[in-house]
Amino acid sequence: MAVGDLTGDGVPDFVFGAGKGAIPAVAIYDGATGASIRTCQPFDAKRKKGVRVAVADVDEDGRYEVLATLGGGALDTAVAFDASTCQRKTTYPSFGLKKGVFVGGTRR
Ligand SMILES: [Ca+2]
């Protein structure tokens, strides 16, 4: 789970990654209302290793993106995507490990 203002209303929103065995989805909820904003699927549906998430402004445009990686046993690819469109913005190169990686976010 990660927290960050993805809607721009000044209230932190919540991002949840699916657990191991589930389709690798990321669910985003509005922190002000608790309503579901959207569910994104940043990885192939067959890669059911669990999704780890973070929130960070990776392109320094003043808006947060969602960072996601797959859990242990998966390639260590990390991606950043737009929370409002689910469109991938960045794919980070693999370290060559298949143990999964973790992601963390920052504030500017
Ligand atoms: Ca950004």
| Each residue's pLDDT expressed in tens, for the chain with a length of 108 residues | 999 999 999 999 999 999 999 999 999 999 999 999 999 999 999 999 999 999 999 889 999 999 999 887 766 788 999 999 999 999 987 776 666 667 776 655
Ligand 1 center from residue 96 Cα (angstroms): 27
How far, in Å, from the CA of 67 to the mean position of ligand 1?
Answer: 11
pLDDT at 93: 76
Nearest Cα neighbor of 102 from 73, 82, 80, 72 is: 72
- Residue 105 Cα to ligand 1 midpoint, Å, equals 12
Centre of ligand 1 to C-alpha 36, Å, is 21
Query: Considering only CA atoms, which of 58, 67, 69 is closest in space to residue 94?
Result: 69
Residue 89: what pLDDT?
A: 94
**Distance (Å) from CA 58 to ligand 1 centroid:** 5
| pLDDT score of 84 | 93
**CA 82 to ligand 1 centroid distance, Å:** 8
pTM for this entry? 0.87
The set of residues, in sequence order, having a beta carbon less than 8 Å from that of 103 and lying 6+ positions away, is 52, 53, 54, 67, 68, 69, 78
